[in-house]
């Protein structure tokens, strides 16, 4: 993509910093987009920044699909081999490895990772300030039974495309459900591997977090 890296561009980017764009959240955001489009339209005719988030959506979708299919089949394999408790140790290795693989395969992708408001692995899955805002509004929408659409965050350096993750399979509850209903071995394994675990207490259908794909601008 070609950007005019001029003053207006930088200014617009600064304005964009922290502005969250999604399909759901409504008028404030639409207004923000209109203002941005105007600013950019006036400032730099050759800049395609207004469609940057949208441009990143289709390739992000492919990555998201592949990521979740692969992770899910690895998870099922791990459960088959070692039961849910054994799978926890395996997961601890798979998840970061997959996150790295994807960023290595796509040179323009800075990082692929899962984020959550209630992390199991806070070292790698704690959201940024902007991501946290998006997660909060997505969670609220989900709680009000509204569909959560993918969203994106544009800052000066990167565009982050976010795909909601839902507890959409009963298998998730083996390791993220109500502690009272979870197997003792699973709870023991979680205490051993994730002493700071916050990722239990979910019900089927709950909003769990997002897959965040970060692109270099």
Q: Are 133 and 142 in contact (CB under 8 A)?
A: no
CA angle 45, 134, 62 (to 5 degrees): 70
Closer CB to ligand HEC, residue 67 or residue 215? Answer: 67
Q: How far is the CB of 145 from ligand HEC (least distance, A)?
A: 19
Q: Minimal CA–CA distance to 165: which of 150, 181, 143, 182?
A: 150
Closer CB to ligand HEC, residue 52 or residue 197? Answer: 197
Give dist(CA 198, CA 114) in Å, integer: 15
Give dist(CA 113, CA 103) in Å, integer: 9
> Which one of the spans 37-45, 92-100, 129-137, 149-157 is the region binding ligand HEC (CB under 6 A)?
92-100
Contact residue for ligand HEC among 20, 47, 125, 153 (CB under 6 A): 125
Closer CB to ligand HEC, residue 108 or residue 169? Answer: 169
Q: Which of residues 148-167 bind ligand HEC (CB under 6 A)?
A: 165, 167
Closer CB to ligand HEC, residue 55 or residue 206? Answer: 206
Instruction: Read off the tokens for 171.
Output: 């298998």
Instruction: Read off the tokens for 86.
Output: 């054994």
Contact residue for ligand HEC among 12, 47, 60, 121 (CB under 6 A): 121
Q: How many CB atoms lie within 10 A of CB 51?
A: 12
Instruction: Read off the tokens for 29.
Output: 């955001």
Residue 95 is a binding residue for ligand HEC (CB under 6 A): yes
> Which one of the spans 6-14, 34-42, 87-95, 138-146 is the region binding ligand HEC (CB under 6 A)?
87-95
Instruction: Read off the tokens for 185.
Output: 């071995």
Residues 6+ apart with CB under 8 A from 172: 202, 204, 208
Alpha-helical regions (H) of 106-126: 122-125
Closer CB to ligand HEC, residue 52 or residue 99? Answer: 99
Q: How far is the CB of 19 from ligand HEC (least distance, A)?
A: 25
Chain residues that interact with ligand HEC, rule: CB under 6 A: 72, 75, 79, 84, 87-88, 91-92, 95-96, 114, 116, 119-121, 124-125, 165, 167, 169, 171-172, 174-176, 199, 208-209
């Amino acid at each position: 993509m070609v950007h005019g890296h001029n003053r207006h561009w930088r200014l617009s980017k600064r304005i964009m910093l922290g502005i969250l764009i999604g399909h759901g959240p409504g008028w404030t955001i639409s207004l923000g987009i209109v203002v941005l489009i105007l600013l950019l339209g006036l400032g730099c005719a050759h800049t395609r920044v207004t469609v940057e988030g949208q441009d990143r959506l289709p390739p992000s979708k492919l990555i998201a699909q592949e990521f979740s299919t692969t992770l899910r089949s690895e998870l099922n394999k791990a459960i088959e081999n070692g039961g849910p408790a054994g799978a926890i140790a395996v997961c601890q290795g798979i998840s970061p490895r997959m996150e790295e693989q994807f960023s290595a395969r796509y040179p323009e992708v800075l990082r692929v990772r899962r984020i959550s408001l209630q992390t199991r692995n806070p070292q790698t899955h704690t959201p940024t300030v902007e991501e946290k805002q998006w997660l909060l509004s997505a969670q609220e929408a989900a709680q009000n039974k509204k569909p959560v659409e993918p969203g994106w965050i544009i800052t000066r350096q990167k565009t982050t495309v976010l795909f909601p993750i839902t507890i959409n399979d009963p298998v998730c509850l083996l390791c993220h459900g109500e502690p009272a209903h979870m197997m003792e071995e699973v709870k023991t394994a979680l205490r051993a591997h994730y002493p700071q675990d916050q990722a239990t207490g979910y019900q089927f259908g709950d909003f769990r977090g997002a897959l965040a794909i970060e692109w270099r601008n």
